[in-house]
A = this chain, B = another copy of it.
Amino acid sequence: MHISAKGEYGIMAALDLALANGTAPIQAKTIAERQGIPVRFLEHVLRELRHAGLVQSARGAHGGYRLALPASKIRLGDVIQAVEGPIALTIHGAPRGRNGNGRHTLHGSLVQGVWDEVKVSVLETLNRTTLADLCRQARDLEEQRVLMYHI
């Protein structure tokens, strides 16, 4: 089962922006360095986040990106769908589930129902968590790291 790098980068970038909430806009270059993402590729991801209305951008010197919504209003499913398009459990290319006559098989439609269930549960799982939740987790982790360092 595959997820795209875009999805992963998208969440990391959005989280980066969420943590920098309220400050000056963050530039793609900065995020790319912090998160270890190729800059030129990250630009694509950010563009799609913007088209989905999740981030705002400002061009020119001192430009950059910021969240367009409060972090608590952005669910991970929103981010994923913004960069990957609608979650569809597709198969590499062709339409299938048809028998020799070109009609879909009985089994084909049953299996389709299964994929639909999976899709729903993936979406529910992703939408249970918001960027604000991830921010909280990030701060907790960071706090632990500092404590470790002190010992």
Residues in A lying within 8 Å of B, measured CB to CB: 1-5, 8, 11-12, 15-16, 33-36, 76, 84, 87-92, 96-100, 105-111, 113-115, 117-119, 121-122, 124-126, 129, 134, 137-138, 141-142, 145
Contact = CB atoms under 8 A, between A and B. Distances in A.
Contacts of A142: 106
A112 B96 CA distance: 32
Given A122-B118, A124-B121, A92 B5 contact: yes
23 contacts: A1-B3, A1-B84, A1-B88, A1-B89, A2-B90, A2-B92, A3-B90, A8-B96, A12-B111, A15-B111, A35-B105, A35-B108, A36-B98, A36-B99, A36-B105, A106-B145, A110-B137, A110-B141, A114-B126, A114-B129, A118-B122, A118-B125, A118-B126
A36 B141 CA distance: 51
Given A3-B115, A4-B92, A8-B111, 10 more contacts: A1-B119, A11-B107, A11-B114, A12-B97, A15-B111, A36-B100, A109-B141, A113-B137, A118-B125, A121-B122
